Amino acid sequence: MTAPICCGKPTRLTTGAEVYPKRPDLRANPRYLCDECGAHVGCHPGTTKAVGTPAGPELRAARSKLHDQMFDPLWKTAAESGGYADTTSRQRKRIRQKARGRVYAFLAARMGLTTEECHIGHFDIEQCRAAWLALQGRTYAEIRAWAKSKEGIRT
């Protein structure tokens, strides 16, 4: 696996024990750390594939706030707020999976990015602000209607 670049150099693979010494729950999790500036990024579960780009405290906080307060509530409540009829637990899980992709597609379109480029783990501070504005006041029902209006997007 290729290490993410930060400060012009590859980051170093380490663990949560080094980055979060007071968090025993993160101790074994692999992370990439920039020895130059201290920025770091976690890995997908069970892998050493970075979930995004290394980030310092301000950017990590911005990404986290965007996920927690704007992005995640939209797709996680899609089954309840998206105008679907009564659904089973299995259907709700499938709706949420599709909804996450729809919210990212909507965000990509609003930000002028491709869906491949649009991932909060890769955003810088300005992109976090732009994403916040793009999602502010939106409902999943609106995003679902937008998706229905696009050719090739199944709803």
pLDDT number for residue 86: 74
| pLDDT confidence of residue 13 | 97
**What gap in Å lies between CA 40 and CA 7, rounded to an integer?**
12
Q: The tokens of 61 are what? A: 């906080």
pLDDT profile of the chain (155 residues), mean per 10: 92 96 94 96 95 96 97 93 81 91 97 96 97 97 92 52
pTM given for the model: 0.86
Q: What is the pLDDT of residue 155?
A: 46
pLDDT of residue 152: 58
The number of beta carbons lying within 10 Å of the beta carbon of residue 37 is 11
C-alpha 117: how far from its chain's center?
11
